[in-house]
Amino acid sequence: MNQVKYIFVTGGVTSSLGKGIIAASLAKLLQARGYRTTIQKFDPYINVDPGTLNPYEHGECYVTDDGAETDLDLGHYERFLNVPTSQANNVTTGRVYLSVIEKERRGEFLGKTVQVVPHITNEIKERMQLLGNSGDYDIIITEIGGTVGDIESLPYIESVRQLVWDLGENNAIVVHLTLVPYLAAAGELKTKPTQHSVKTLMESGIKADILVCRTEHELSADLKQKLALFCNVKTEAVIQSIDASTIYDVPNLMLEEGLDRVALKKLDLPEKNTPDLSQWNEFLFRLKNPKHTVNIGLVGKYVELQDSYKSILEAFIHAGSANETKVNVISVHSEYLDEESAHDKLAGLDGILVAPGFGGRGIEGKIETVRYARENNIPFFGICLGMQMAVIEYARNVLGWKDANSTEMNDSTAYPVINIMEEQKTITDKGGTMRLGAWKCSLKEGSLAKNIYGTAAIEERHRHRYEFNSEYLHELENAGLTASGINPDTGLVEVIEIKSHPFFIGVQYHPEYKSTVANPHPLFVSFVKAAVARKG
């Protein structure tokens, strides 16, 4: 197959309809048919990447192996496809304009007036085809962020129009995701919002090839016919996307609707075979038929917005299925947790995870959580800042260093057991300046971590500025806090654990980023297993 095919996924009517899940589900089906498929996301905001965005604004910031801080939809892509993404898979308006402006400053436009068309659109088109030009893929799915009609999305829509024209017939198609709302007062589904959305798309010169309709109720054959007629698509290309109990049902629902078959037909590609989703469906069966139930406390300071810890929540779904266990994640706000309230809020839990984060808000609540889990032998898992809080708690309550802290929260502490990395001390810019991406780690023989991973050499993804201060390593280890994972190149501590505890582990990295349906992360699997064992 020489010609790379392109599928563009746009959205209309409202945001948060699930373009990322539809894109990931379609990619999963195409992959299962034997096509090398990847997905990329183009976001219309002017931030260069989401790394500086508050989790309340944009949900979690997902990190790739190559250190890109990206949109959380890339997490869905990896979880569904089990294929790593990279810097090239996520592009923002900020990155596009930054690149064009830098080219202008270097004189690359030879005195031309730099404009949205053609300079910005050419930059977008070039980036849209980067993965396609690599030779690694047969089909590239491109999700366009935002909603059709938004001012900030216009350069992307125009770029899609041009690319569809450039690539020629059967080489690029547009899948448009819209809402078909149900009006309770009228007792019926309404197609007018979808019609208006498609009209808006057509005003930009783009004809939708496939309509995917988000709905709470089944679309009748008559309704599909009506949508096909007034939106200028074939009836078979009107795809129902009904609410599902889990996002992992969506590939099967799209298979039933024939989304992949219609897409392949429009791209003039053979169907090859019926998608083999046996492993996927085994995962779903275990997920929906659990033999156990556990309550895991997720202690963090962004718990009001579920997307803030999206990868952690999904990793628990993967690990729950692997253990045939329903994992009830109980959100606990660390800002409102102290010594007096700890028992009331944490006593009924089978396991406790202290979440990542930045800044001083809610820190004392996290430290108190660690103390409670340690003293009451509750399975404990600390991620990034959660691991750092475990070190501080141990220093304070076991070694008696009451002033122990991180220099992120208190730069005058007498015991800076967590300190800023040496190479970070002179950095003033916030964006893309942390330790990012995949780093090596060597696990100690006989450690819990080595037992869980089953290997001594691992690579995990990082996103942080502060580290375990190795000056205090000897004293902490003598007191029973083991540094069981060390970066072989820098000597920095990556994993800590307490051997005398049933399950107590903290990691400086973010294991949740690498958990997928096909490969649930072993740390989450073992943590859930420990919670099941505690519950008995």
- Cα separation of 254 and 512, whole Å? 27
**3-state SS assignment for residue 232:** coil
Any idea what the Cα angle at residue 58 is, between residues 30 and 331, rounded to 5°? 95
Closest Cα to residue 390, out of 228, 505, 475? 505
Q: Which two tokens stand for residue 459?
A: 């690579």
Closest to 315 in 3D by CA, of 495, 526, 462:
526
Q: How far apart are CA 130 and CA 469, in angstroms?
A: 41
Helix (H) or strand (E) holding 463: strand 457-464
Q: Of 51, 49, 32, nearest to 41 (Cα)?
A: 49
Question: Which residue of the set 78, 123, 467, 512 is catalytic?
Answer: 512
Could you report how far apart the first and last alpha carbons of the chain are, in Å? Answer: 54
User: Given 384, 393, 460, 497, which residue is catalytic?
Assistant: 384
Whether 510 is catalytic is yes
Question: Which helix (H) or strand (E) element contains residue 387?
Answer: helix 385-397
Residue 360 DSSP symbol: S
Helix (H, G, I), strand (E, B) or coil at 248: helix
Cis, peptide link before residue 118, omega less than 30° from 0: yes
**Residues 390, 392, 398, CA angle at the centre, nearest 5°?**
90
DSSP 3-state of 37: strand
Query: Helix, strand, or coil here: 249?
Result: helix
Give catalytic residues, as residue numbers: 384, 510, 512
